[in-house]
Amino acid sequence: MNRSHGHHHRAWTREQLSRLENPERVHLMPPMPVLQAIDAPSGGAVADVGAGLGWLTFPLAVRVGNSGTVWAIDPSRDGIEVIRARARQESLNQIRTVPAPAEDTGLDAQTVDRIVWHTMYHDVADRQAAIREMYRILRPDGRWVIVDWEKRPMDQGPPLEVRIAPEEVEKEVTAAGFSVRDRWSAGPVTWGLTLEKPR
């Protein structure tokens, strides 16, 4: 069993984050189905919560364009530094970095059109607080995309006992006022959920 799995609420080190960048990850976790589910509008605002090294931040920045904003939010200052440096290098001024946990992003209420959590739901220390925070920052009619590891034994990823089934996630987020828009397969090892905040 893989015990080297770090936890998002314990800010990851650069070394742990760089392991996420291995080429195998693209096969295990193809970005395209996730980006399609997020469906970031041109000129829109997206919060990439638990952004890591910006695996989704950068393709999202291209999708929202110069007039949009992508908030890369992560408690890891190492990760935030990497994203900040690369954004500067690539002149992607639409990327804003926020060193913060999911429970308290510091964003204004109702400022984002889309939120994405990629393989971090199981890692959040205070899920109720984080779900409330997502509800607060999302605009009415906005969309929250959650992707996480399937709850079955496999060689990769976190230990089975910390994984969370999508049904359990649905229960928690609908109790907080979100509705389920779509359930989908995000790839060979992950499930996807698309939620909406009512108008």
Give yes or no for a contact between 102 and 49, defined as CB atoms under 8 angstroms apart: yes
CATH class of the region 14-196: alpha beta
| Global pTM value | 0.89
Q: Tell me the CA distances in angstroms from 2 to 66, 133, 153, 160, 162, one per residue in order.
A: 40, 31, 11, 9, 12
170 closest CA partner among 115, 136, 139, 127: 127
Lowest mean pLDDT, pick from 22-31, 44-53, 167-176:
22-31
Q: How confident is the model at residue 183 (pLDDT cuts 50, 70, 90)?
A: very high
Residue 23 CB-density burial (10 A; 0-12 exposed, 13-18 middle, 19+ buried): exposed
Can you give the pLDDT at residue 3? 33
Query: Higher confidence at residue 14 or residue 126?
Result: 126
First to last CA, the chain: 44
> What percent of the chain is modeled with pLDDT above 70?
87
Q: What is the mean pLDDT of the chain?
A: 91
User: Torsion angle of alpha carbons 41, 64, 125, 153, nearest 10°?
Assistant: 80
Cα separation, 145 vs 115, in Å, equals 6
pLDDT at position 21 over 70: no
Q: How confident is the model at residue 19 (pLDDT cuts 50, 70, 90)?
A: low
